[in-house]
Structures are given as C-alpha cells and as structure tokens.
Amino acid sequence: MGVKEAGWLGGIGLSALLSVQAVAAQEVEAPEVEVIGHYQTGIGTSDAASEGSVTHRRIESRPLLRPGEVVELVPGMIVTQHSGDGKANQYFLRGFNLDHGTDFATFVDGVPINLPTHAHGQGYTDINFLIPELVDRIHFRKGPYYADLGDFSSVGAVNLSYARSLQYSLADVEGGMYGHARGLFIASPKVGEGNLLYAAEYQHNDGPWDLDSNYNKGNGVIRYSREQGEVGWSVTAMGYYGRWNSTDQIPRRAVAEDLIGRFGNLDDSDGGESRRFSLSAEWHRSGESGDTQILVYGVYYDLDLFSNFTYFLDDPEQGDQFEQFDRRGYGGLMAHHTFNHEIFGRTSATTVGLQVRGDAIDVELNHTRRREYLETTRADTVGEVSVSPYVQNQTRWSDTFRSDVGVRLNHYHFGVESDLPDESGHVTDTLVSPKGSLVFGPWADTEVNVSAGMGFHSNDARGVTSSVDPADPLVRTYGAETGVRTLALDHLQSTLTFWWLKNDSELVFVGDAGSTEATRPSQRYGVEFANYYTPTPWLTFDLDFSWSHARYSDDAPEGDHIPGAIETVISSGVAVHDIPGMRGLFSSLRLRYFGPRPLVENNEFQSNATTIVNLQAGYQFNARWRLTVDVFNLFNARNDDITYYYASRLPGEPSGGVEDYHFHPVEPIQARVALSAKF
C-alpha cells in the first residue's frame, strides 16, 4: 500500500488517509496510489469520485493572472473578478454563482478562510494573500459527503497546503504590461533539528483600466516545523496588506453612448484596503494503533471597501457610493483522533473529531461620496460561535468493497448588537448531518463510488436575529453523486460523475445592493467528465467538461431560473516539458470556457459566453535559472468576466433608473515575463 497524500489539516485528512493505509495494510493489500503527471489518481484512497489532489508541478505549469486562479485546478471551477485586484474573486462551480465563497469552503493549511456575516457577502473568501510558489498540494472535495467538513462546503471544499520545507531558495522577479511588477523571495534553511521556511512578496499592478488600479500588495510567511519519529509539529505566521482602486461593473448603455470606454468607470473613487494576519500551530502523531492531529489558529482581518453599482439611483445629488467595513478577529480549534480496530474481523478505522470556531466582528454599512462619510446605514457588533463534533468510520469489507460513513453535529450561536431598532438579538440553532460513501472496486484499475449526505450553510447573523422576517440560522442542503474513476487505458485517467444537490434556501448575490441575500429553495443536477492523459513523459493533455441544470424548486410568478447559475464549463490544456533533444524548453496552452448564465428569474436576459486562451512558454537554462513568459487572453477576446442585470441611474436619466446589463470585461491580451533563480 502506498499512500502519498499530504493530508487535510484541520479536518479528517491526515488521520483518515493514514487510517486508510492501516485498514488496507491489515489482511487486504490495496492498490498503490499512482501519480500520473501532476495528478494523483485517487484509486484506493478517494471516497467520492469527485475528490482529487493536484501536485505542485501542475500549479507551476499553469499561467495565473491572479493568485485565486489556483483554485481553477479544481475541475469545473471558474474564477473571475468584478472589481479591483484586491477584492475577493468571484467563483463558479456545479451550477452555482458562489459569489465570493458561499457554499464553497476554502482552507489554507487547514485554516478556514470563509468569513461568515461579512460586510460584502456571506462566506467571503479572499485568498489574495496566497503565494502560488509555496502551494505544495491542492486537495479538493465536492458535495456534502464528508463528516469533517461543515459550513459553506455543500458544493465543495479545497485545502491549499503550503510546503513545510524546500530543498532550495527561490528568487523571482516579474514584469509585464499595465504596470505589473512582482518580487518574491523564499528560503528554507535548516535551523536546529527542524526546518525554517520564510517568504516575502511585493506586487504592483495597474491593469488595463482607464483608472489605474494602483494595486500594491505586501505579503509574508514564516514557518518552523519539525518531524521526530511518530511526532511532528509546525508553527506558521502570515501577514498581508493590499490597497487598490476599483473599476467595478459598468452598464452597457454607458459604453454604447460613448460616455465611457469599455475599461472606463462611473465613479473613480471606488476602491479598498485590506489586511490579514494569522498565527497557527499544528501537532500530529501517528502510530500503529491510531493517529492524532490538532490545529489551533487565530486570524485578524479587516476590509474597507467603497463601491457604487447604481450611481445616482437612490441619491440623485450625492450619488450611491457605499462603504462596507469589516473588522474581525476569529480563531478556533480542529482536533481529531483515529482508532485502528476491527469490525467482524475486517480492518476498520474510526475517527472522532471536534471543531470549534468563534468570530468577533464589527461590521458597518455607510453612505459615502468619493470615500467621504455621509451617514451610517447600519452598524453592528456580532459574535458568532460554532461547536461541531463528528464521528467517521472507514471499513474495508473485502478486496473490492469499502465504506466511509459518518455523522456531524453543528451547533451555532449568533449574537448581534445593532444600531437599528429590532435588529439586535441572540439565536441558537443545531443541525445533525449524516454522510457517507460506498466504494466498489477496483476491477481492471476501475472504481465505482456512490456518495450521499446532508450539509448546510449558515446565514448572515444580521438576518438571523432580525425581528422582521428573520432568516433561518442554518440552512439544510442535501446531496448525492455516483461516479466511475478508471485507469483502464494506459496513461489516461478518466472520471465520470453524476451529481445532485438541493438547497432549502439559495444564497444569491444582489448586484445593485452589493450583498448576498437568502432566497428561495433550489435544486441542481449535473455531470462532470474529467480526463488527464500523459502519452509520453514530456507531453500531457487535460480536458474537464461540466454541465449543470439549476432551478428554484418552488413556484413563483417571477420564474424559476437562478441568476448567475452557470451551465457549461470547459477547461482544457496541453503542456510540454523536457522534450527529447530540446531539454529545458517548456510550454502550455490553456482554454477556459464558461457558457451563458440567466441573469433574471424568467431567463429573459442572459450573459454571453466567455472563452479565454492563455499561453505559457519558457526555458530552464540550468538547475538555477529559469525564464517564463505568460500571455493572457492570447486572442484578445472581448468577453465579460462577470455580467449582471439590474437598474441603475446615470445623470439625466429618469428617477426610476434604467434596467440594463452591467458587466466587467475580461482583461485584454497582455504579457508578463519572470526570471527566477533557485539556489
């Protein structure tokens, strides 16, 4: 048995994977976990067909316009932007417009990134602090089938694991069009009996916008880790600061009437500033009888965001710009222990875990003009605490059948002190979520997976404690999937998955309000087809196709389409490296397509499809020096990154405003050059 997975810090991951090894090693010999190119096959270790891992080499071979695009290595995921560089990205997966992170849980080294009761949107996920060169592994899971995953994970979850140590130091200098400049230094010396890893990054970018983005980012990581026999531990500190000007989505009529250009703006004072500082410590121990892992973390975060999506609709004199201010500290504990044992003579492992998180939040919504304060719309002090124990069992019943079943209890307390009458209060809610998977095989290097479970997402505490039409604190979700993963053909890994997901209440981003609202119940189903082919050691192809059908499940006169629900996603690429006779040369060409989306419930208005092709080419001169050229939007497509349909008002227009498409264009063709040295 060869389990080479890195582990899911802060969840069941490391223990679960080690317990799979233990379950398989006793009496039953499971298949070796094979690594094809830059992907792990998952046969013998993954519980659901849609689960998988990506290695650092795959990340290294992909051109990235933004750090958040690392998450596009999750098959079917699309990452876009509708505002300035420093704002969280927009995410799409499995028929969901996930806004800035709703229903998709993101972790960096096990530390949760999603922010509940956020000023701009529930589950807000800002990973602009991510340093792609440090990401050693991406482990993704989809659906509510895992007992160690809770809030925001119904559609999926990803853990981005940083390396604990490197065999080299790295210096990287980048430059490019539209004022792009970046410097990065990483070192990993041996200190005492452990490893010290530290990195510092600075980035500046103006973008193609008429108003320079003037994005300035400072970023740093320092980690000390040590492994000694069965015991290991690490302590990690991170710090990030970003400041930017925003060119938000603009109405099509303003461009058609030559009021502004395609890369113009209607409020040149939009923008933001954000900080994030974190400290985490992880300890683990593994042995024949079981495994233990404990993670504790603390995070400070703030965001000051100025936006104007409707211009003069609500206030014809001062304008509609608003400030969303969020300042919080949050921290928590994630711990689990796995017991190796037998059930009816069959090898088994049972994991008992506990996850605790608390957020102390100050959040404000203010009316502003050119970033100058006018009045407070509302201000709230929020406390949110969750306690979630879980139990999960993995048993190998035969050579070709194993099960993974679990149950999770989710207990939440919401407390709000508001400056608005009838908005303060305290609410407590509890949900129990059973989950599980059955895995049949392998036969001829092929496995069949069947998974089902109940999940949830929490709602914004300010809506939960409201005395006027309060939202449900915890919203139930139901999911199931079945899939086939095969290596039957030489050098080809293919996975076909059919999935279904039901939400008791949909979270939808409202473009004119700049926030996420709880809406109607919904239901989705779809198919995913992922392929990775390595016909030779120097050539790889990949093709991911996803199709989803998304509808509200109740009857309403406005219609049953879900605004922003993406239907079709295609991601494909070809990469070459170390070609015989051309050692040192590497290149990759990538296509990403996401199809039209309904923008209103009756589907009268739709977005256009977006197709982008990116190119990377470079040369590894020797073991030290490497030159890389990335060309984004190679064919200069004039597509949209994001599209909405709502009412806004320009100067001189009627008081009720004009319903119109509002779009944020994809960035035009541009090139970036990076020179890096390893020493």
Residue in 427, 508, 485 with CA at minimum distance from that of residue 461: 427
For the cut 70, the answer to whether the pLDDT of residue 510 exceeds it is no
pLDDT bin (cut points 50, 70, 90) of residue 516 is low
Higher pLDDT among residues 512 and 395, named by residue: 395
Q: If you search the block for the tokens 């990335």, which residue do you land on?
A: 630
What is the phi/psi pair of residue 108, to 5°? -120, 115
How far is residue 170 from each of residues 58, 453, 641, measured CA to CA in Å?
18, 43, 33
d(CA 642, CA 89): 11
Q: What is the CA angle 460-461-462, rounded to 5?
A: 90
Q: Based on the number of CB atoms within 10 Å of its own CB, is 551 exposed (0-12), middle (13-18) or buried (19 or more)?
A: middle
Per-residue pLDDT at 514: 52
What are the sequence ranges of the domains in the chain? 13-678
What is the phi/psi pair of residue 563, to 5°? -55, 130
- Residues 263, 266, 267, 271: is their CA dihedral positive or negative? negative
Name the 3-class secondary structure at 438: strand
d(CA 537, CA 540): 8
For the cut 80, the answer to whether the pLDDT of residue 19 exceeds it is no
For the cut 70, the answer to whether the pLDDT of residue 31 exceeds it is no
pLDDT per residue as tens digits for the range 646-673: 999 999 999 999 999 999 999 999 999 9
Nearest 10 degrees: Cα torsion 219, 62, 139, 125: 50
For the cut 60, the answer to whether the pLDDT of residue 217 exceeds it is yes
For the cut 50, the answer to whether the pLDDT of residue 495 exceeds it is yes
**Superfamily of structural domain 13-678:** TonB-dependent receptor, beta-barrel domain (2.40.170.20)
Per-residue pLDDT at 597: 96
What is the phi/psi pair of residue 218, to 5°? -120, 140
**What's the chain's Rg over C-alpha atoms?**
24
Q: Which tokens in the block code for residue 647?
A: 């009412």
How far is residue 205 from each of residues 33, 179, 208, 265, measured CA to CA in Å?
41, 5, 9, 17
pLDDT bin (cut points 50, 70, 90) of residue 582 is confident
Q: Which tokens in the block code for residue 554?
A: 């109740």
pLDDT bin (cut points 50, 70, 90) of residue 26 is very low
Q: Mean pLDDT over residues 72-83, rounded?
A: 94
CB atoms within 10 A of CB 557: 6
CB-based contact 240:129 (threshold 8 Å): yes
The one-letter code for the residue type at 599 is L
DSSP one-letter code for 249: -
Poorest-confidence range of 233-242, 283-292, 407-416? 283-292
Beta strands in 46-193 (DSSP E): 52-55, 78-80, 90-93, 96-97, 104-108, 111-112, 135-142, 156-162, 170-176, 180-187, 190-191
Per-residue pLDDT at 424: 94
Q: If you search the block for the tokens 């792009």, which residue do you land on?
A: 180
Top mean-pLDDT range of 12-26, 297-311, 463-477: 297-311
Q: If you search the block for the tokens 């711990």, which residue do you land on?
A: 335
- Residues 529, 534, 535, 541: is their CA dihedral positive or negative? positive
Q: Report the chain's mean pLDDT, rounded to a whole number.
A: 92
Per-residue pLDDT at 534: 94
CB-based contact 64:98 (threshold 8 Å): no
CB-based contact 673:174 (threshold 8 Å): yes
Q: Mean pLDDT over residues 203-228, rounded?
A: 97
pLDDT per residue as tens digits for the range 82-113: 998 999 999 999 999 998 988 999 999 999 99
Q: Mean pLDDT over residues 300-306, rounded?
A: 98
For the cut 70, the answer to whether the pLDDT of residue 513 exceeds it is no
Name beta bridge partners: 352. Answer: 337, 391
Per-residue pLDDT at 28: 35
442 preceded by a cis bond (ω within 30 of 0) = yes
HSE-up of residue 454 (Cα within 13 Å, Cβ side): 12
Q: Which tokens in the block code for residue 269?
A: 């004072």
pLDDT bin (cut points 50, 70, 90) of residue 40 is low
For the cut 60, the answer to whether the pLDDT of residue 178 exceeds it is yes
Report the share of the chain in percent with pLDDT over 70: 93
Q: Mean pLDDT over residues 397-425, rounded?
A: 95
Residue in 156, 158, 152 with CA at minimum distance from that of residue 103: 152
CB-based contact 456:499 (threshold 8 Å): no
d(CA 4, CA 32): 9
d(CA 94, CA 153): 12
pLDDT per residue as tens digits for the range 252-289: 999 999 999 999 999 999 999 999 999 999 999 998 88
Residue in 574, 441, 437, 456 with CA at minimum distance from that of residue 505: 456
Residue in 613, 515, 649 with CA at minimum distance from that of residue 120: 515
Q: Mean pLDDT over residues 216-222, rounded?
A: 98
For the cut 60, the answer to whether the pLDDT of residue 18 exceeds it is no
* Residues 6+ away with beta carbon under 8 Å from 446: 43, 484, 485, 486, 487, 488
d(CA 478, CA 499): 11
Poorest-confidence range of 259-268, 339-348, 512-521? 512-521
Q: Mean pLDDT over residues 241-252, rounded?
A: 97
What is the phi/psi pair of residue 445, to 5°? 60, 35
d(CA 67, CA 62): 11
d(CA 631, CA 423): 50
d(CA 268, CA 115): 28
Per-residue pLDDT at 517: 75
What is the phi/psi pair of residue 93, to 5°? -165, 140
DSSP one-letter code for 504: S
Per-residue pLDDT at 382: 97
What is the phi/psi pair of residue 23, to 5°? -60, -40
Which element (helix H / strand E) includes 273?
strand 271-286
Name beta bridge partners: 568. Answer: 547
CB-based contact 361:379 (threshold 8 Å): no
Buried b (16+ CB within 10 A) or exposed e, 26-57: bebebbebbeebbbbbbbbbbbbbbbbbbbbe
Q: Mean pLDDT over residues 39-44, rounded?
A: 65
Given the DSSP bridges, would you call strands 104-108 and 156-162 parallel, antiparallel or unpaired? parallel
Residue in 227, 90, 41 with CA at minimum distance from that of residue 564: 90
For the cut 60, the answer to whether the pLDDT of residue 498 exceeds it is yes
CB-based contact 306:323 (threshold 8 Å): yes
How far is residue 440 from each of residues 169, 485, 528, measured CA to CA in Å?
44, 11, 19
CB-based contact 520:505 (threshold 8 Å): yes
Per-residue pLDDT at 39: 54
pLDDT per residue as tens digits for the range 523-554: 999 999 999 999 999 999 999 999 999 999 99
For the cut 60, the answer to whether the pLDDT of residue 7 exceeds it is no
Given the DSSP bridges, would you call strands 194-205 and 96-97 parallel, antiparallel or unpaired? unpaired
Strand order in the sheet with 640-648: 250-251, 658-665, 640-648
What is the phi/psi pair of residue 657, to 5°? 80, -175
pLDDT per residue as tens digits for the range 139-173: 999 999 999 999 999 999 999 999 999 999 999 99
Poorest-confidence range of 46-55, 122-131, 606-615? 46-55
For the cut 60, the answer to whether the pLDDT of residue 8 exceeds it is no
d(CA 236, CA 195): 12
Q: Mean pLDDT over residues 392-412, rounded?
A: 97
